Amino acid sequence: MTTTPAAGTADSRPADLLIVDADIVTMASDRAVVSGGAIAVVDGRIAAIGPAATLRAAYPGSPELDAAGCLVVPGLVNAHQHTTADPLVRSSIPDDVPARQAIFDWIVPLHGAVTGEDDELSATLTAVESLSYGVTTLLEPGTVAHPLRVAHGLRAAGIRARVGGWGWDTPEAPYAMPAADTLAAQADTVAALAGDPLVTGWITLVGHDLVSDDLFTGAAELADRLDVPMTWHLSPGPEDPAAYAAAGRARPVRHLHDLGVLGPRLLLGHAVWLDDAELAALAETGTAVASCPGAYLRLGQGFSRAGRHTELYRAGGRLALGCDSHNAGDTPDLWRAARLFAGLERDRGIPDPLRADEIFALATIDGAAAVGLAALTGSVEVGKAADLVVLDTRTVPWTPRGDLPTQLVWGAAGHTVRDVLVDGRMVVRDRRITTVDVDALREEATHRRVALLRRAGIDIPHRWPTVPATEYCARRTVPDGALPPL
């Protein structure tokens, strides 16, 4: 497994980092777990995997990260994560409003009111939170007014990401433009981010029933021409099939198939409500799907009764996991998404639900494949980017260790993320973000939340009253002698 230079040769030079004494969950095609291994990181890549002594000899004088008693896993891939508007007003939309009302009464006004500064800051916030969970790659699905500001904010945190701008041609909606103008803006974003080592551009449409056929087909042609993937939302709940029917269209995935836009270049967010023909079309065309179980549960979209993502996977379909938004899923914690997905699929009573080992692949190598990055990330293999997560398995949630995939997906692994590297750079060290001043981030995010809600004209209803301590104390003072003796 090593491709190390021979010890003591003229080629010998220090690695940028040796991670030593770890057990390594590679997620390579044989799913090997290397016990007591070391990883050499050189120029952002995994240069070698092998015994520590061998790597120390090959890379003399290298700085070391002691991972004794720890587990190294590939950085996780979040294939559907909104980074703007919602992060600043996270967990604020009530959980008793229908999904469509949440979008049009809350999300759309918020997106209409965000500034470039808001977008950049909330992208950094989302990236920092993601990194703290060991998510090293995220796909921003494009409800973004200021994509270059978002790219800047993501880059500042040090996460790997793919970004696009707003893409819909529904009249009278924020950032809507005619199809040709939308496509020109998307092409500009891809061009502006070309060549960046971490954050580059995608073609991103809003999808649903909010995009014309011209825009769907134009996006597919543009993605082909620019040789980049594309993504949009479809059928998270029953509303999209109903809207397509009302408009005299075929069911949503069938409609896209008829337009000729399905294929390996497309990643659909959701695709929960599918009939047999739609499921077959996704599998046959190699269209990828990002499943976001936290969002479906939060919005009550019927995933447990209508979802068929196991069936899509078993039919050879390409599947990944996502966390959606801070008001639909509410956290970019992909460990939680994996656990929810595992439980929901298992509880459906189907004969062959996805197992933990398969679901951890969705969170890593399969997720990387779904976002077109399998050659670069998603597994711990020589030649790939050093996107690595050190889990401290000396902690109580890992005591004692059980079956690794079972414990990774069903246990509390996400609570034990100690160190995170992206492209060889240590972005989390001993549970602390190294790239961003988190105190300053918190202060600015708190300030921007208030200003954004005011501009959007939104009052967050609070079901629990806030009472100043002085008032509470005055109301609840107990008369002398009223307390029972201890």
Q: What are the residues binding Zn ion (CB under 5 A)?
A: 269, 324
Extract the tokens encoding 8: 């003591």
**Shorter beta-carbon distance to Zn ion: residue 232 or 398:** 232
Q: In the bound complex, what is the minimum distance in angstroms from residue 474's beta carbon to Zn ion?
A: 47
**Shorter beta-carbon distance to Zn ion: residue 123 or 380:** 123
**Shorter beta-carbon distance to Zn ion: residue 270 or 418:** 270
Q: In the bound complex, what is the minimum distance in angstroms from residue 10's beta carbon to Zn ion?
A: 53
Q: In the bound complex, what is the minimum distance in angstroms from residue 303's beta carbon to Zn ion?
A: 14
Q: In the bound complex, what is the minimum distance in angstroms from residue 233's beta carbon to Zn ion?
A: 5
Q: In the bound complex, what is the minimum distance in angstroms from residue 334's beta carbon to Zn ion?
A: 15
**Shorter beta-carbon distance to Zn ion: residue 118 or 324:** 324
Q: In the bound complex, what is the minimum distance in angstroms from residue 232's beta carbon to Zn ion?
A: 9
**Shorter beta-carbon distance to Zn ion: residue 324 or 387:** 324
**Shorter beta-carbon distance to Zn ion: residue 26 or 186:** 186
**Shorter beta-carbon distance to Zn ion: residue 137 or 435:** 137
Separation CA 129–CA 377 (nearest Å) = 20
**Shorter beta-carbon distance to Zn ion: residue 25 or 328:** 328
Q: In the bound complex, what is the minimum distance in angstroms from residue 360's beta carbon to Zn ion?
A: 23
On whether the CB atoms of residues 17 and 424 are closer than 8 A, the answer is yes
Q: How far apart are the first and last CA of the chain?
A: 66
Q: In the bound complex, what is the minimum distance in angstroms from residue 211's beta carbon to Zn ion?
A: 14
**Shorter beta-carbon distance to Zn ion: residue 118 or 140:** 140
**Shorter beta-carbon distance to Zn ion: residue 294 or 405:** 294
On whether the CB atoms of residues 286 and 316 are closer than 8 A, the answer is no
Q: In the bound complex, what is the minimum distance in angstroms from residue 207's beta carbon to Zn ion?
A: 9
Q: In the bound complex, what is the minimum distance in angstroms from residue 170's beta carbon to Zn ion?
A: 16
Q: Which residue has the tokens 């990883």?
A: 39
- CB count in 10 Å sphere of residue 197: 10
Does the N-terminal peptide bond of residue 400 adopt cis geometry, omega within 30 degrees of 0?
yes
Q: In the bound complex, what is the minimum distance in angstroms from residue 260's beta carbon to Zn ion?
A: 24
**Shorter beta-carbon distance to Zn ion: residue 74 or 207:** 207
